[in-house]
Amino acid sequence: DTGVSQDPRHKITKRGQNVTFRCDPISEHNRLYWYRQTLGQGPEFLTYFQNEAQLEKSRLLSDRFSAERPKGSFSTLEIQRTEQGDSAMYLCASSEGYNQPQHFGDGTRLSIL
Amino acid sequence: AQTVTQSQPEMSVQEAETVTLSCTYDTSESDYYLFWYKQPPSRQMILVIRQEAYKQQNATENRFSVNFQKAAKSFSLKISDSQLGDAAMYFCAYNRNTGNQFYFGTGTSLTVIP
């Protein structure tokens, strides 16, 4: 069990640029989640995949955000035309079933200059 | 909408002592799950303990136990014999039985004093 891995750990970019993050879940987990966590807050749900299907999206996920999980394995989260308010830690988690504990990655910290 | 409230932004405990972290939640559901997660500084969030709402018995995991009061919608975490390694942010989380979203509280920062 290698755990959930996220890449990169840190991303610094200028406002208006596009960024893409990658998440590799635990291999036998069919559920994958993306969260955003800002300083002093708990994780906020962004979106959820079961296998390759994106089944739920939060209203926080504006049209500048898109997520994919093309083969039901790794997932990518892309943010287009980044804004200052996008600065946050982006967490990925996976689980083997609903109501099962989620296993989190280390997160990708995004800083917008 | 489900909300999770942690009213203690910071707590401290002497090593080897016991501390209780508070969590309340708001829901109209009767069947759901509650979790406590621990997030050490710059490290991954890990599960501490899990409670199914339909179970009256409070969950226990070694030094960690919960006091689940369903009617009061309260879910507190008790850490016994506190250790230096327990220092972390602790998040309470809610997940309804048929839902995919986890709702997290704002966290409690626990300091363990040697």
Non-local (6+) Cβ contacts of A97 within 8 A are: A30, A31
Among partner residues A3, A45, A107, which is closest to B102 by beta-carbon distance? A45
Q: How confident is the model at residue B2, as a pLDDT? A: 65
Chain B residues within 8 A of A56 when measuring between CB atoms: 100-101
Q: How confident is the model at residue B43, as a pLDDT? A: 80
Q: List phi, psi (to 5°) of B22.
A: -95, 150
10-residue mean pLDDT series, chain A (113 residues): 89 97 94 92 92 88 92 94 95 87 93 94
| Alpha-helical regions (H) of chain B | none
CB contact under 8 A, B45 and A33: no
Write out pLDDT tens, residues B2-52.
Answer: 689 999 999 999 999 999 999 999 999 888 999 999 999 878 899 999 999
Q: Does A34 touch chain B (CB under 8 A)?
A: no
Q: Does B103 touch chain A (CB under 8 A)?
A: yes
Chain A residues within 8 A of B3 when measuring between CB atoms: none
Chain B residues within 8 A of A106 when measuring between CB atoms: 43-44
Stretch B103-107: mean pLDDT: 94
Strand order in the sheet with A65-68: A5-7, A19-24, A75-79, A65-68
Q: How confident is the model at residue A60, as a pLDDT? A: 79
